Amino acid sequence: MKSAQIQKLRIFLDRLESDYQHIEFLSSDPLEFVHRYSNPWDQEAVALLSSVLAYGNVKQIRKSIDEALKRMAQISDSPKDFIRRLSEARFEKKATQVFEGYVYRFHSGEDILQLFQLIRQSWSQYGSLGDHFLSLLQPEDPHIESALIGLIAEWRDWTRPSVSKYFFHLLPSPQDGSCCKRGCLFLRWMGRKDQLDLGLWSGPSPYLKSKNRLRPNQLIMPLDTHTGRISQYMGFTSRKSLNWKAALEVTETLKKIDPVDPTRYDFALARLGILNICQRSYRKEICHQCQLQPGCQFAQKSSPGLLPSILFSH
């Protein structure tokens, strides 16, 4: 892509970001639940819970996170307290009763409690999830791939053998080829800071023991059905399959636009899909209002002659 094209693309994406990167759009995102807490251990635990459940319909995702948090609140003062006390046999029994009947897609309350046990073990061995992840990330790593592989491998090793096979669906690894949208989303929330993302692991955080930090330019774009197809429409990737290689390719394109903070447009791009603005067909009344329309190859193909892409037509 030529530098003039990069400049134009940046203008379109900046306009999209200024339309959607606002706190009022949090109610359409699982990140909203993390903002309910101010303690960093609560925040990282709720962020992990919210991100691993972030697949499928956004209303159902939010309902399932809300329900898990309400069940925890029945027997504890905070998510941190609930998770720490899972080391006590009597409390674990109560927690099992509280999560009886919890279901989200393939997952039962047993899977959620297993996830909390992994968080508890990370806290007990490293101090925090941040310290666990940062122990696996090298400052010279170009991106989070090898640290994410290491974290998931360790968690898989710690998982109780009795857990259902569906539990592992919560923890995909780049090694499986998956785009790992949920892991990348969790890391975006922790690794960049603005009014929406928390940046707990990227800046001064007194709760972390590690001196190491996660840089925003080590993050990988969380590709899901919305950001994936819009990335394809915009030519950020030529891959048909939304796998790990596609996530790397999209991130590399976005790094040309913003080398310091390539995932900063993720939230805004995702709104086009989550809010059902960008539909899977060309809609003149919508596409003509869309900030991305001048560079959208899909819109151009669907309406030849009407919408020449100023990005890719020369």
Which CB, 170 or 299, lies closer to ligand SF4?
299
Which CB, 189 or 298, lies closer to ligand SF4?
298
- Quote the least distance from Cβ 257 to ligand SF4, whole Å: 16
Q: How far is residue 303's CA from residue 243's CA, in Å, rounded to a whole number? A: 29
- Quote the least distance from Cβ 283 to ligand SF4, whole Å: 7
Residues at the interface with ligand SF4 (CB under 6 A):
230, 233, 272, 278, 286-287, 290, 292-293, 296, 298-299
CA separation, residue 245 to residues 20, 29, 174, 175, 239 (Å): 27, 25, 9, 11, 8
Q: What count of other Cβ atoms lies within 10 Å of the Cβ of residue 310?
A: 16
Which CB, 128 or 231, lies closer to ligand SF4?
231
Q: How far is residue 223's CA from residue 250's CA, in Å, rounded to a whole number? A: 9
- Quote the least distance from Cβ 195 to ligand SF4, whole Å: 24
Which CB, 31 or 272, lies closer to ligand SF4?
272
Residue 295 · residue 309 · CB < 8 Å: yes
Which CB, 9 or 287, lies closer to ligand SF4?
287
- Quote the least distance from Cβ 237 to ligand SF4, whole Å: 14
Q: Which residues of 269-295 are buried (b: 16+ CB within 10 A; e: fewer)?
A: bbbbbbeebbeeebbeebbeebbbbbb
Q: How far is residue 118's CA from residue 113's CA, in Å, rounded to a whole number? A: 9
- Quote the least distance from Cβ 25 to ligand SF4, whole Å: 17
Which CB, 34 or 234, lies closer to ligand SF4?
234
- Quote the least distance from Cβ 32 to ligand SF4, whole Å: 24
Which CB, 180 or 292, lies closer to ligand SF4?
292
- Quote the least distance from Cβ 259 to ligand SF4, whole Å: 24
